[in-house]
Amino acid sequence: MIAAARRPEAARSLTLVEPGCYQAAADHPEVAEALRANRAAYADLPDLTPEEWLRAAAGSTGMPEPGTGDRRLRAAATALRERVCWEAGLPLPALRAASFPKLIVSGTWKDAPGPYRERGGVPLMACARVTAERIGARHEQVPGSAHYPHVEAPERLNALLAALWSGA
C-alpha cells in the first residue's frame, strides 16, 4: 500500500488479500478493540523463539499447533523482527486518488474456530470493508475461506484477479 501510494504511476493495480491494515480502520469499534488487545498482548510478550511464537499464536486463537518446518521457522523469525502490520501508517488519501483499480479480498471466516473468528476474523473483515471504502476499492469476500483465501480457494481468487486485470 505504501509503495503504490508513493509511486502510483508505477502501479497498474492493487490487490490486498486479508489485509491487516488496522490503522486504515482504527476508528471502527471492532478494529479499535483488536488494536487495544494486540498492543496489550505485545507489551506483555516475553522474548520468544520462533517455535514458541508459532505455538503461542495458534494457541491464542484456538487453532491447532502449526508445523515447525525450516521454512515456517524462518518466516516466524522474520516476523518477530518486523514492525507489526497493525501499526503501519497508511497514505489513504493518496491511494484513493490513485487511478489504478483496487481490490480487497477477504474470507468469510464462517467455518473458523470461534476464538479465531472473533479475535482475528471479525476485525480483519472490518478492516477490509472500511479500507475498501476509504481507498475506493472493490471488496470481495471468498466463501469457504478464513484468513487464507489464496490457499483455501485459489480458483476464486484467480478469477477475481483476472477480472481486475482485464478491466485495468
Q: How confident is the model at residue 31 (pLDDT cuts 50, 70, 90)?
A: very high
- Note the pTM of the prediction, 2 decimals: 0.83
- Average pLDDT over every residue of 86-100: 94
- Rounded to whole angstroms, how far apart are CA atoms 163 and 60? 37
Widest Cα–Cα separation across the chain: 48
Q: What confidence tier does 146 reach under pLDDT thresholds 50, 70, 90?
A: confident
Q: What is the reported pLDDT for 55?
A: 85
- Helix segments in 24-101, DSSP class H: 29-43, 50-61, 70-81, 92-97
Predicted local distance difference test score (pLDDT) of residue 136: 98
For the cut 90, the answer to whether the pLDDT of residue 57 exceeds it is no
For residue 142, what is its C-alpha cell? 471468498
Q: Which pLDDT does position 56 carry in this prediction?
A: 82
**103, β-bridge pairs:** 15, 138
What pLDDT digit, counting tens, does each position of 59-76 carry?
A: 776 777 777 789 989 998
If you average pLDDT over each of 5-14, 60-69, 76-85, 149-158, which comes out highest? 5-14
